[in-house]
Structure 1
């Protein structure tokens, strides 16, 4: 009986809070503490149906023809966040700490054309490659104020890029030599910007590995570094409750002060793969022989700089529609533009400015079970996700999985995947 009473009291409190708000992003608790974690990996070359077959055959010519004009795109990212929020309908505040990272890779179609069609003896095939790496640590303070039908949310944040690698000049050159051997040479001129001096990680012109970078980062005085070198930006939304079932809003992410990185490590890295003449190997009664060399670093230079990094600028509009004027069924949409590292040295009008959108449907049953379906294009990635939510008032568990890709059609076929899990405690 006591358990039943507690459940009814919890259910009633959820109902009271849900009915008291008509916001695009509703809050379910007065006080909550939570942890979120997401991992993502995607590419636009293969769908899961292409590789989950009994006999795998890769047609590189067809693959090259099917790829878009810009070629292959691959991306790997992570996001970890912990937070504390207080929300009493008319006002609210909180604090969070977050770490994010993203690695991107792009290759022109030339490498796949070579693999599918080959090249003449004595000729070469050159594939252009671009890569990018960025990792951030961030702390922020979300604030909310509701005046009549208008809700204003602002989140000033202090962030610092731990490692930042703008797109280097890189190529893969394949040579079909006169003696029948094939040699592929990958070469990249890179510049790595960081908070700490990484010269010890490249001592003697060799790279000691990621462990060397991590050791240097661990020696850093994090609070002092974030305060002195960190950047400041602002997330803000303004929402207007047109009626009980329809909310309109605008959102923006504004870089106010760039973060500054003091150290630059630059140089060239090469990796070589060679395949010995096939005919010689077969006539000699042996198998196909090959060799690898690298990665080899050269021209390593470590210097002090003042490199500014801004996080993306965003501006857009959003809407939430509750056809039945209740929170159990909500359709949400947003559309806007974004610019990568505005005002930064690597900003390019042709490649750094891009659109974004998101469309989602949320269903909540008896205030306990929640289901979500979302289609979005964020950070150059199309994502189709399904989520489940179990809300027991004092405890909430959120889980979602997504199929993602830089290609819209392949984003429906598990060309990439994103997994998200979140746990919240509160009342």
Structure 2
């Protein structure tokens, strides 16, 4: 909490004391513009597409355990959709109103699970295998106002957001015990807490009448959160622009309902040596408990962000290099707070601003991403589309351990 307060104070002081003059990092092609875009993808940090797209699929657990030494096995996904209406009359007045949905999830299984699968049980041993996961789904709406005050380029973005679902960091466990007399016992448990804006018990029972819809809309309005983004830009000569930006969480969104469900499994082998003469015995049980629904308030902030970005045009407007680095804090102001860094490096090449090619490499939300996109701009209509390879391991992410795609359409004049 104290660290977040110091970071927020630093952010405000930065805006007061850093001497900047105006510049524009982003490109604007139309005075009035409507747009819609969507992106979705998933990844892991080990299994490549080339490993799966074969006639005979074989996964070597021993090799997997060796390659993951000291790392978790990570699976993630993200999906987002956004639409907007923008007015770009001049560098003194730019207004972009937007709304959309943003979803992401992340899970990690400790490498010790794969050690157990490939090396087996050790006598007189006991070990715990950690599994963690988290995820969020937000509905967003807001606007960005960009202007020029004397020599200062200023961007202000207030955002209203409603958390629709939230899975706080969940630590599942799997453990095993082995003794000299041949006892082997393994058990696993995944306690899953899902917070939601509406009662999931009603959804499961297929209660979707008008009263349910009215209740959902009312809950969304009453439990909306608020955060605020700002950026100041400055040009350095004719080819370089730099900007300082931040997102400051202000009011948390609230979720009023919780669904708890536990998945479990137990395996016990008595007298393992008896396998040789069939005198051994074993039992196994697995299943899941009935879901438990309750009314519990959970507050959620979008991540705090503080960073720098730039636009370098060494050969003119047809070639733009855009680097970006930032510090992010997931779940700020809470005991679940996690600090991590992010970066992005983008090259945007355009021929007469009609045909464009964009290449991006980035590390965002704990995932490495490498994108290649294409742009076609006919002034009135612009189409952007691209593909992305990704993963939680930098080297393997180039080997297609994950895929994503995005597409967008802009039109106006």
> Which TM-score applies when normalising by structure 1?
0.80
- Structure 2 unaligned runs (5+)? 1-21
Residue by residue, what CA displacement relative to the aligned partner does 1:130-165 show, whole Å, maximum 9, x if unpaired? 111211111111111123543211111100111111
What's the C-alpha RMSD, in Å, of the aligned pairs?
A: 3.4
CA separation of 1:147 and 1:64: change in aligned 2, threshold 3 A: same
Which residue matches 1:3?
none
Question: Partner of 1:18 in structure 2?
Answer: none
Alpha-carbon shift at residue 218 of structure 1 (Å): 6.3
Q: Secondary structure at the match of 1:330?
A: strand
* CA deviation map 1:33-75 (0-9, x unaligned): 1111111101112233444445543222221121152411110
Aligned to 1:416: 402
- Secondary structure in 1 aligned to 2:394? coil
Aligned to 1:143: 145
SS in 1 for 2:289: strand
Alignment match, 2:237: 243
Partner of 2:17: none
Tell me if structure 1 keeps the 8 A contact 2:37–2:406.
yes
Matched, 1:316 2:307: yes
Q: 2:251 aligns with which of 228, 233, 257?
A: 257
SS, match of residue 69 in structure 1: coil
Q: Distance in 1 between matches of 2:180 and 2:206?
A: 42
SS at 1:166's partner residue?
strand
> Which residue number corresponds to residue 96 of structure 2?
94
Do the aligned partners of residues 306 and 82 (structure 1) sit closer, same or farther apart at CA in structure 2, a change above 3 Å counting? same
- CA distance in 2 between counterparts of 1:217 and 1:150 reads 50
Match of 2:159 in 1: 157
Distance (Å, rounded) in 2 between the aligned partners of 1:195 and 1:139: 17
Per-residue deviation, residues 364-400 of structure 1 (Å, max 9, x unmatched): 0121101011111111111111110111111111111
Q: Is the contact made by 1:104 and 1:132 (CA closer than 8 Å) also made in structure 2?
A: yes
**Stretch moving more, 103-112 or 223-232:** 223-232
Which runs of structure 2 are paired with 1:187-336 in the superposition (5 Å)? 187-200=189-202, 208=204, 219-221=213-215, 223-271=217-265, 293-294=286-287, 296-298=288-290, 301-324=292-315, 326-336=316-326
Q: 1:132 maps to which residue?
A: 134
Deviation at 1:95, TM superposition (A): 1.4
d(CA) in 1 for partners of 2:365, 2:322:
19
Paired residue for 1:367, among 341, 346, 353? 353
Separation in structure 1 between the aligned mates of residue 137 and residue 186 of structure 2, nearest angstrom: 31
Question: 2: distance between equivalents of 1:213 and 1:25?
Answer: 46
Provide the TM-score with structure 2 as the length reference.
0.83
Q: By how many angstroms is 1:117 displaced?
A: 1.7
Cα distance between partner residues in 2 of 1:317 and 1:50? 38
Count how many residue pairs are aligned between Structure 1 and Structure 2. Answer: 387
- Alpha-carbon displacement from aligned partner over 1:88-143 (angstroms, at most 9, x marks no partner): 12211121111111121110012211222222589666421111121111111111
